[in-house]
Structure formats: C-alpha cells, structure tokens
Amino acid sequence: MKEVQVNVPGHSYTIKLGSGVIKDLPAELKRLNPSSCLIVTNITVGSLYLKKVSELCNTVCRTESVVLPDGEAYKDWNSVSAILEKLASMGADRKSVVIALGGGVVGDLAGFAAAIYMRGIRFIQVPTTLLAMVDSSVGGKTGMNMTAGKNLVGAFHQPEAVIADSDFLRTLPEREIGAGIAEIIKHGVLADKDYFEELERDMEKLRALDPETVAEVVGRSCEIKAGVVSRDEKEKGERAKLNLGHTFGHAIEKLTGYGTWLHGEAVAVGTVLAAVTAEKQGKINRDDVKRIRDLIHRAGLPVRISGISAAKAIEAMKGDKKSTKGVPHFILPVAIGTTVIEEVPESLIREVLLEEGYQP
C-alpha cells in the first residue's frame, strides 16, 4: 500500500492506494465516528461492489445507499436532488458521512451533495475508475453540469479520505482505462518530464494494468496533483494548470452531448490541441508536440475530432469556467513538463481547430 498526504489550509487527508485497501474503510469510518453513512454509487458499480462496501460500512454504523443512473448525461441537478432527498429521508445529520463509490461523475455528485447538505457534511472518496483514482477524487472539486456548460455549479469540498483500491480496475472496460490514462499523460505533460518519459517506456504495461506499473503510475499522479492542490486549493493560480486540455475538451463534451465522449477522451484531444496551439505560437518545439500526440495515440485514445463546428466550439469555450469576461484562458505546454496559462487570439484557435478536423 502507498499513502499520499494532501494538506490544504485547515484540513489534511490521506490517499490510500493499492490492492485490497478497501479493507481500511471501516477504520477510516471509526476515526470519523459517524452517526450514519450514505453510499452513493451508480447502477453499474453498484451491481459489482455495493454489497461488499455496505457490509464494511455496516460494521461501523447504520448504512444506506442511493443508486444513480450511469453516465455523464446524469451529472445534473436531478441526481444531486436524489442524494439530498435520501439524506433527509434517512435522518442524516451533521455527523453523517457520505461515501462516493464510483468514478468521477459519482464522486463529483456525492461530494457536491455533501458540501451543501446541512451546509456541509463529511465524505469519503472510494474511486473505482482509473481517472477518478488519479484525478477527480483528489483535490475537493465537486459539482454538476448545466446545459450551458460542464461543472458550472459546484463547490470546493475536501474529502476526509481517499481509498483507491486497484482491484476495482479489474472490471473496468478498456475505454475507461484509456480515459484515465489521458489524465495521467496530462500530469506528465504539465509537471514532470521524467514521468512522461516513464509513460513512454511503460505505456503497454499500463494499458494491460500490470500491477507494479499501475501502483507506480497512480501513486505518482496522485503526488503531482496533491502537491498542486496543497499549494493552491481554490485554483487562484497554479492549480489551473491541471486543466491542461480541458478548455478544448469541455467544449467537445458539450457539443457532442455529455456521455458521447468520455471525459478523458475529450481531454486527450484537448491536450493535443493545446500542444498544437503552443507550437503555432513558437512556445514548444515540433518534436515535443509529436511525442505528446504519439503517446496519446499509443494509449488507444483519439488525437483529433471531426464533424463539429469550430465556431460553436469557440462559443462554448467562452462560457468555460476558466474564461474571464468571455475570453477563454488556455493552459499551453512550452516543453514537456512545463506549462503556462495564457489568452490566445480567437483567430489562432479557429486556425488550429480547422487544421485538426473541425468544420467551420
């Protein structure tokens, strides 16, 4: 087992990583001394793991569950409301604890509900996807989508613990594995050249879920994100760099319909687009752009998208959370392992999109 510490002002917690670490959930609950627990999951994960996790939680306190539909299309107020209504009907109080059992969507929804129920109750992240283990379960971002855009409603609400059991990955579809690898590659591009080189060396092992490789990679990605979050919890500066590929990616998700493209798939294309944009500005050399594109392709991920409107994509990006007065900000790699945050002329963004497969 590996442990990574996350320290933010007024709060700290531990990420526990490894095979079989779900057994530590009762100990984490005992430490919190909850009056009751609510497990939030979706129909897919629930059919696999809800019974086991419920049994573990019931050894500590009365435990109930709510099972949501599966998919990004359900990351909305209806799902948040279902969690809140369940908390109220079961008599949850300020000592209750929410357990988020699932991927990034479940974690965001459960965390957001915990953030606003009785003005904030505690929650634990139990991520079951690779993407959630290396990214969304760490750092306290919670929320839901709106028709106008992704994650436009939410709160910063840090978990009490993250328990990332790699055994859960055995039931993960190959496409979901790729989505998680997209965020892993992102970490290498934005923060750690040596890590990126390790991913180039070990990509086939990672895709095959080689246990030693998974342990090393998940641990390193969590260390990178935990370090950034500890220095900038509320995304006032450095933490924004974790959104590499996301300004482009969120527009892809919105325009194709939430759930059509997995979040990681959209981020993969977005990362390529960010690199191409940086190259056109003379910020990064062509060889590094090729290495980024090639590694994403080797991960089984898309490197471009066709058939969506560049004009609509630009409008969607103007409504992104990282925009100011309607002007989007982009995280651009200037070398593998180093990024900057900048405004980019709309004309250049349009040029990049059209060259990379978009329609006018």
pLDDT in tens, 242-286: 999 999 999 999 999 999 999 999 999 999 999 999 999 999 999
Catalytic annotation present for 119: yes
Catalytic annotation present for 187: no
Active-site hit among 186, 263, 321, 329: 263
**Mean pLDDT within 35-53:** 98
What one-letter code names the amino acid at 8?
A: V
Residues 6+ apart with CB under 8 A from 249: 263, 266, 267, 268, 269, 270, 271
Catalytic annotation present for 235: yes
Q: Which domains does the chain have, with CATH numbers?
A: 2-171 (3.40.50.1970), 174-355 (1.20.1090.10)
Active-site hit among 16, 75, 186, 246: 246
Active-site hit among 183, 233, 265, 279: 183
pLDDT in tens, 281-299: 999 999 999 999 999 999 9
Active-site hit among 186, 239, 321, 329: 239
- Residue 322 pLDDT exceeds 80: no
Whole-structure pTM over 0.85, yes or no? yes
Helices (H), the chain: 25-32, 43-45, 51-58, 77-89, 104-116, 130-131, 174-191, 193-207, 211-231, 246-256, 263-280, 286-298, 310-318, 346-355
The long-range contacts involving 317-321, CB below 8 angstroms and separated by at least 24 positions, are 317/247, 317/248, 317/250, 317/251, 317/349, 319/148, 319/149, 319/152, 320/149, 320/246, 320/247, 320/250, 320/251, 321/149, 321/151, 321/152
Catalytic annotation present for 263: yes
Angle at the Cα of 305 (from 303 to 306), degrees rounded to 5? 145
pLDDT of residue 67: 98
Q: In this structure, are residues 356 and 310 in contact, taking their beta carbons and an 8 Å threshold?
A: no
Active-site hit among 157, 186, 250, 329: 250
- Residue 78 pLDDT exceeds 80: yes
- % of the chain exceeding 70 in pLDDT: 100
Catalytic annotation present for 141: yes
Q: What would you report as the CA-atom Rg of the chain, rounded to the nearest whole angstrom? A: 20
